Amino acid sequence: MEERIVLVSFFLLFIVKKKQVAPATRARSKQEKQPVRKFPNTDMVYHFHPIGFVNHMKLIYGGGNGLGVCYGEARVRAFMRMLRIGEGTKDEKGYERIVGGTHFSDHGKDFSGHPNVKVYISSIEDYSYAAGAYQITQKNWNDTPFVNWRKKKGLSDFSPESQDKYCLYLLADKKKSLDLIKQGDITEAIRKCRKEWASLPGSGHGQREENLFEILAEYTKYYKEELNGITTLKMPWGTAKQLGYDCCSDDDNDTSCGKENIDLSNRVPWMSQFNKDEAGNREGCFRTSKKLLMKSGLPDSSGKNINPILIVTEDSEAKTISINNQNAIKGIEYIDSELEKGNPVLVGLHYNFTFKKNTDKTTDHFFIIKGRGCENNKRYFSFYEVGTNYGDKGIHPMNKLFLEEDNTLRGTSKYKPSHKYIVSQVRKN
């Protein structure tokens, strides 16, 4: 670990040194532009943030959240980017877009203040002044609490970075949804915000609304990008804290269980078992979980039913289970060893006595474990729930399996807490 951190530090020092000496060797001409970095086949510009890079390195080499990664802020930033999808402003030019599709320059406007351009919207048979990446209205702009907030923060312009900050204000102070977002309750946050942004599902404004599952899928993609230091936002990481919004207080920083925290969210994708390949098949949890292993870079043999570690056996007649304690310990040791290598692990779950289709006649469901942590001096393992279409619930931070005194892993998912999971088997990579 020490050697890896030194390498990262050397890399960052090299970047700083290069930036310091470059002006002395050759001044950049006025005509020469900075290189534009775009996502493939799009006009969306991405920005590399050193803080995001360092966080990414910390995630790769262990240390979890105890080393400073703020997952709450990543969720807030991903939510902000998600808002721009339905508003038609997710591209780089979105910061200067007027409702209806024109741009500031088309009306002789700049970023010195809200453009205050009046546009007739036929779908609502009314006028709108919405502008910028978050389509901030003139009514919001002139709202006394918002005016006072801008004065207090020393903000007066309508620059792209300021627009991002204004979105934070609307989420936190007006819609009171920031806590929901940083805790991962994205569906509930959407419900609270849908009267502010008409494109959100269920807004009822008479305008085109986004599909809930589609924008949740985009949110999960943006969340992973933010964890990896990739963003289309203009405000730097840490801005929320500078503005007085604590996005990190609910992050798990407890390291008192003797094992360092690990979270592989930055490299392990999420997918619903109700994806297009499994359309109409309500029993695709294993195949979907196996796909997630492969998308994480593991070989095709990973997760197969080859010498699994069998932990629980059910007696469906008596409706009881028996536990192989020795295998339970082996299962924990195996999961720990794989997570420390940066690999997720596929596990089987038992939660009822009616499903008999799996070979052990005990396992009712499958998903992948992608992290570990400590809560109130009790170890837990975090997982992705594939048995839902709701992306925010699939990756919810409350999806946890706790290590009990009998060495079993037990817990529930945010999507369906009535399912009391116990890990019945561990599949090897």
CA-to-CA distance for 350 and 423, rounded, in angstroms?
A: 6
Active-site pick, 2, 3, 32, 87: 87
- Residues 135 and 173: their CA atoms lie apart, in Å, by 17
DSSP-derived letter for residue 93 is: G
Catalytic status, residue 87 = yes
Q: Is 339 helix (H, G, I), strand (E, B) or coil?
A: helix
Please give the torsion angle defined by the CA atoms of residues 97, 155, 162 and 229, in that order, rounded to the nearest 10 degrees. 180
C-alpha atoms less than 13 angstroms from C-alpha of 413 in its C-beta half-sphere: 23
Q: How far apart are CA 188 and CA 420, in angstroms?
A: 23
Q: At residue 57, what is the residue type?
A: M
Number of H helices, E strands in the chain: 13, 14
Instruction: Tokens for 267, please give them.
Output: 């490299």
Q: Both tokens of residue 85?
A: 């999808």
Provide the phi-psi class of 427: left if phi over 0, else alpha when psi is between -120 and 50, else beta: beta
Q: Are 257 and 334 in contact (CB under 8 A)?
A: no
Greatest Cα pair distance in the chain: 81
Specify burial of residue 300 (Cβ count, 10 A radius: 0-12, 13-18, 19+).
exposed
Residues 6+ apart with CB under 8 A from 144: none
CA distance readout (Å), 233 to 41, 84, 97: 19, 11, 15
- Distance, in Å, from the CA atom of 87 to the CA atom of 163, rounded to the nearest integer, reads 14
The C-alpha atoms of residue 86 and residue 201 are separated, in whole angstroms, by 10
- What is the chain's length? 429
DSSP, residue by residue, 77-102: HHHHHHHHHHTT--SGGGGGBBTTS-
CA end-to-end span of the chain, whole Å?
A: 24
Q: Tell me how far apart the alpha carbons of residues 422 and 404 are, in angstroms, rounded to a whole number.
A: 10
Could you give the residue numbers annotated as active site? 87
